[in-house]
Chain A
Amino acid sequence: DAKTTQPTSMDCAEGRAANLPCNHSTISGNEYVYWYRQIHSQGPQYIIHGLKNNETNEMASLIITEDRKSSTLILPHATLRDTAVYYCIVRVQNTDKLIFGTGTRLQVFP
């Protein structure tokens, strides 16, 4: 599976959009981009995934560049409860293996 690179930490003001970048320059054509997050003392939680088109759900939006070498997770209106570690993962479709990196620690402040 392709390796991902994320910033170690980011801050975001409450109510503002949080944009979390991820580089996956060695991604293969059949690898999907997945995002999970882990709130303190909880297990990781699925957020969103995509292949090449931009995706949106009730939690977030995922923007994937045309060359698929990078992506951005967008939390449109961050709240204090969005403070967590966000993991960007690339995964081959129909395989169940998630390889987590160290993620980005997002701190949302009042």
Chain B
Amino acid sequence: EAGVVQSPRYKIIEKKQPVAFWCNPISGHNTLYWYLQNLGQGPELLIRYENEEAVDDSQLPKDRFSAERLKGVDSTLKIQPAELGDSAVYLCASSLGGRGRVNNEQFFGPGTRLTVL
């Protein structure tokens, strides 16, 4: 079974340019997450989707970040314009979701490493 797929794996852009990351979750997983991971730190949640609905976007910097999950499957995370401080790894994860699930294990993709020059 394929895991969570992310692309691109690496991206280098100049500041003020836009950038987009794509995520394809595990088939059948209703919940999708985007995390940001700075060097030497643990991942931090940016946004969580239940199907196509964003149910937790409280940590998403909405002035420059946006995300969408059309049709409740693939998702795209966009930054416009990118700043130097956005250099980090952007991780996507998915889980089966659903209330009452004892262990809603999250499966992570390999991430996209963004470098802003």
Contacts and interface: CB of A to CB of B under 8 A. Distances in A.
Interface in A92-110: 93-94, 96-103
Interface string B25-63: 000000101000000111111001000000010000000
Q: Is the interface of A mostly helix, strand, loop or mixed?
A: loop
A78 to B, nearest CB: 22
B82 interface: no
B97 interface: yes
Determine which residue in A41, A43, A46, A49 has the highest number of CB atoms from chain B within 10 A of its CB, and name it: A43
B101 A94 contact: yes
A43 B108 contact: yes
Interface residues of B, number: 28
Q: Is the interface of B mostly helix, strand, loop or mixed?
A: loop
Contacts, number: 51
A106 B41 CA distance: 15
Interface residues of A, number: 18
Contacts of A44: 43, 91, 93, 106, 108
A45 B106 CA distance: 8
Given A41-B110, A43-B110, A43-B111, A96 B97 contact: yes
B103 A49 contact: yes
Contacts of B106: 44, 46, 96, 98
